[in-house]
Amino acid sequence: MSEVGNIYFNNEDAKSKEFAKVLNGRVNDYFKAKGISKYGNLEMYIKTVFMLCLFFVPFGCLVYFEPRGILAIALSILMGLGMAGVGLGVMHDGIHGAYSSKQWVNKLLGYTLNLVGGLSINWKIQHNIKHHTYTNIEDHDEDIEPKAILRFHPATKLKPVHKYQYIYAWVFYALGTFFWVTFKDFAKITRYTKEGLLAKNTNSVAKEYAILIFTKVFYYSYVIGLPVMFTTYTGGEIFLGFFVMHLAAGTALGFIFQPAHLLEEVEYPQPDENGNVPYSRFVHQLYTSVNFANKNKWVTWYAGGLNFQVEHHLYPHICHVHYHAIAPIVKETAAEYNIPYHAKEGFFETLREHTNMLKWLGTADSELVKA
């Protein structure tokens, strides 16, 4: 593991500064020429309603009609897809401040994560701060930290079990939201408190702990409590539906989030002994992010534009409904400055190559040579 503390990006590089200035100017010109806002629009509002309904309508059907067998499982899966959809296409923009020009609206929409069992402050710290700032940098980007028996970075210690991670990783992805709502939020808020990050990102640490407790009590009260009180489902059946819902949500999120920075094309920039990395913070995002399935309108819609990962990392403050429009601008400008623009054509092709990347990370060939 890296022992480097602070990370210093090469922000004074002349080429990088010029590239950022030109690209930012062109993106701004696009919105001015179109006369449109960088924030959400009618498409975004419709999606918000749809995703919330995709979660709550099947839940209402389960409680009111009490279907059995395959139909009950199907409704649980729909709930899971709705839960993931709320995270991908609603909460995500809210916490990035990209949903609306009004910050209270962004904050409110960010709390849709709490509505489906998560804790928004944890997501803000892990995703907005640690991941977006230090993408693919060992010991700083929490998304690539070793998790259980998973290895996501060439500098992470290789273990014999990693040889098989390309197989079992998908099980861990599927279990992701289940672990998140049951115990991971508690572990994360404790960690961020010790690291001082919680205090830096809220005006009241005590308030965030109170929100955590309220969130969990509220979530379990309706998602488990209502079926217990108002249906004839057994405890085992209720837990099965709850578990299936989370398997669907975890799988959907894994399909979208995991390949975006874990493909063969990406770099894992290593800081030197002083914490210096080779690229500016802006250009760093292009070396460490990959687009995929950009021509697939359904994937783009459901994924909250996160298949335009390059655009998202460059402009997280722009609502995802605009990514498809600014992508050609980013690609063309990157080519002019000989900066990589990584993009994959197909969705399933991307999942296959992510699997191959996991397989490679389970081999000795992937280990970084230490100086």
> Which pLDDT value is given to residue 368?
76
> Which pLDDT value is given to residue 1?
42
Structure tokens at 112: 């849709």
Point out which residues pair with 292 in neighbouring strands. 344
Confidence of residue 3 (pLDDT cuts 50, 70, 90): very low
What DSSP state is assigned to residue 138? T
Confidence of residue 147 (pLDDT cuts 50, 70, 90): confident
Q: Is 94:106 a contact under the CB 8 Å cutoff?
A: yes
Q: How many CB atoms lie within 10 A of CB 32?
A: 9
Distance from C-alpha of 139 to C-alpha of 155, rounded to nearest angstrom: 10
- With a cut of 80, say whether residue 5 has pLDDT above it: no
Q: Is 99:322 a contact under the CB 8 Å cutoff?
A: no
In the chain, what is the straight-line distance between the N-terminal and C-terminal CA atoms, in Å? 14
Point out which residues pair with 276 in neighbouring strands. 8
pTM for the model: 0.95
The helix (run of H) or strand (run of E) holding residue 50 is helix 42-65
C-alpha distance from residue 187 to each of 156, 172, 223 (Å): 22, 17, 22
Average per-residue pLDDT for the chain: 96
Q: How many CB atoms lie within 10 A of CB 35?
A: 6
Residues 6+ apart with CB under 8 A from 286: 310, 314, 334, 339, 340, 341, 342
Distance from C-alpha of 84 to C-alpha of 51, rounded to nearest angstrom: 9
The helix (run of H) or strand (run of E) holding residue 344 is strand 343-344
Q: Which of 256, 247, 246, 249 is nearest to 351 (CA)?
A: 256
Residues 6+ apart with CB under 8 A from 366: 154, 158, 360
pLDDT in tens, 218-253: 999 999 999 999 999 999 999 999 999 999 999 999
> Which pLDDT value is given to residue 24?
98
Q: Is 93:320 a contact under the CB 8 Å cutoff?
A: yes
Distance from C-alpha of 191 to C-alpha of 335, rounded to nearest angstrom: 41
Distance from C-alpha of 149 to C-alpha of 160, rounded to nearest angstrom: 10
pLDDT in tens, 313-341: 999 999 999 999 999 999 999 999 999 99
